[in-house]
Amino acid sequence: MNLLTPDLSATEVAMPLFLQRASCGFPSPASDYLEGSLDLNRHCISHPAATFYLRAEGESMTGVGIFPGDVLVVDKSLTARHGDVVIALLDGGFTVKILQLTPRLALLPANPAFAPLAVDAEQGFELFGVVTHVIGNLRQRDGHCAG
């Protein structure tokens, strides 16, 4: 697993942020009004010293929009809660799963083709961080987007 850390020393890259929202249902007339600008570093990274990037692999999390090749923004400073998507170290390997705290500690996939991972006291288990954002290229997702 390759961990990448954000380079926040670079000059801010602020892109236009339009006031008009894009409808995911029926189209609405376009608006020419800008809300301001958006810097993805500021939007995606709340705790720079505790944040890293990780590239996803495998199909177990497609149900929550995480596909192979996506970049995950992970914050190690957050306390993981029931239902969070987390990076966990289990039996010496890293995995991306949904954290289940009750009724029993488990790591759940977001794809019915995969089985949940029960966590036992004997296993080497450590929560490594909470996934806060997913960066994916829709044009590179095989079979998920026509293009």
Structure tokens of 1? 């697993």
Q: Is the distance from CB of 51 to CB of 79 less than 8 angstroms? A: no
Q: How far apart are CA 52 and CA 135, in angstroms?
A: 13
Burial 50-79 (b: 16+ CB within 10 A, else e): ebbbbebeeebbbeeebbeebebbbbeebe
Q: Is the distance from CB of 106 to CB of 117 less than 8 angstroms? A: yes
Nearest Cα to 74, choosing from 10, 138, 4, 23?
4
Is 76 considered catalytic here? no
Is 23 considered catalytic here? no
* Active-site residue, selected from the candidate residues 23, 31, 60, 77: 60
Give me the active site residues, please.
60, 97
